[in-house]
A = this chain, B = another copy of it.
Amino acid sequence: MADLAGLVSDIASRLQAATDRGRVADYIPELAKVSPRHFGIAVITADGTEHVAGDAGEAFSIQSVSKVFALVEALSRHGNRVWDRVGKEPSGSAFNSIIQLELEQGRPRNPFINAGAIAVTDLIAEGRSPGEGLQSILALIRRLSGDETIDLDAAVAWSEAATGYRNAALANYMRAFGTIAGPVDATLSVYFQQCAIAMSCRQLARAGRFLMAGGVCPVSGEAIVSPERARRINALMLTCGHYDASGEFAFQVGLPAKSGVGGGILAIAPGRASIAVWSPGLSPQGNSLLGTRALEQLAHTMRWSVFNPDIL
């Protein structure tokens, strides 16, 4: 096996110095303030070893990466009823597109585009106060990371709520079709807050360990989800985790992964590693530019792509 520690540190050095860093998301004012200079990486392997480099300890807004944890929480609470509300197909369109909703009677394509994630959040919030809904997601993330200090960044949540008109359009549209059953404002409130959860690469990689390990947290031994469900969540991350660049990511990197417009990506090499990268500059499709490059180099060198024959 390649020297993973050296590789992680090499990747960080190279990418910290990169000049083409993409564009920081500016449609949420609070996110626009983050410097594009950041780069962090954390890799946790199956045996529990942690390799970190760069700004791996600095918290950032996980944004859409939270959709993975929200899905886990909704599946735990409602089981496969979740799939009555959202599909499992790549959308073929942008993360915030509303066209598909009209063409398909208000049913979002998958839980990792905004519409789908809002529908998932609505299920989590069902029969609860918005506060309880949010706390259940936070509690899951804290448990997975083994870190009770993780919390949301209220300024970001506020900023999202104040400018989240397209998400409000999606939520109202789905409410008209019954895809969302609860009060639109309450569901959006939970959604904006879950997106504003702040985590470091190290915390995020820890939170992803159960997906590397067949659904079991390798530290506590707790079964978070069944092996079947872990496999299926990985499949969804691979086909839908990068919006309308999911195909390209699978082609280049070959790992289940979920990105967020805060510049973070959580990637899973099943049986091998849970990986988190962060760099705020984005590609036109809204995925971290340097984060993607880091994962490409890591997966290539380590031969971690799920499409490699020598995964044997």
Contact surface of A with B, Cβ cutoff 8 Å: 46, 87-93, 97-103, 109-110, 165-166, 168-173, 175-176, 184, 212-214, 227, 230-232, 234-236, 238-240, 244-248, 250-251, 254, 256, 270-272, 305-312
Contacts and interface: CB of A to CB of B under 8 A. Distances in A.
Contact of A246 (B171, B213, B239): B239
B166 A270 contact: no
B247 A89 contact: yes
B168 A172 contact: yes
Given A173-B169, A184-B168, A251-B235, A312 B309 contact: no
A312 B238 CA distance: 19
Contacts of A234: 307
Contacts of A110: 247
Contact of A98 (B87, B88, B173, B231): B173
A234 B272 CA distance: 20
A232 to B, nearest CB: 5
Given A89-B92, A99-B103, A213-B309, 17 more contacts: A46-B309, A88-B251, A90-B239, A92-B93, A98-B99, A110-B247, A165-B173, A165-B176, A166-B176, A168-B172, A169-B173, A172-B172, A238-B238, A238-B250, A270-B307, A270-B311, A272-B312
Q: For chain A, what secondary structure do more than half of its interface residues adopt (helix, strand, loop), or is it mixed? A: helix
Contacts of A248: 88-89
A310 B214 contact: yes
22 contacts: A46-B309, A89-B245, A89-B246, A92-B100, A98-B98, A98-B101, A98-B173, A110-B247, A165-B172, A165-B173, A165-B184, A166-B173, A231-B254, A232-B251, A236-B247, A238-B238, A239-B250, A239-B251, A240-B247, A270-B311, A271-B310, A306-B307
Contacts of A175: 165
Nearest to A231: B307
A240 B227 CA distance: 25
Contacts of A172: 165-166, 168-169, 172
Contacts of A173: 98, 165-166, 169
A220 B302 CA distance: 28
Contacts of A309: 46, 212-214, 227, 230, 270-271
A168 B173 CA distance: 8
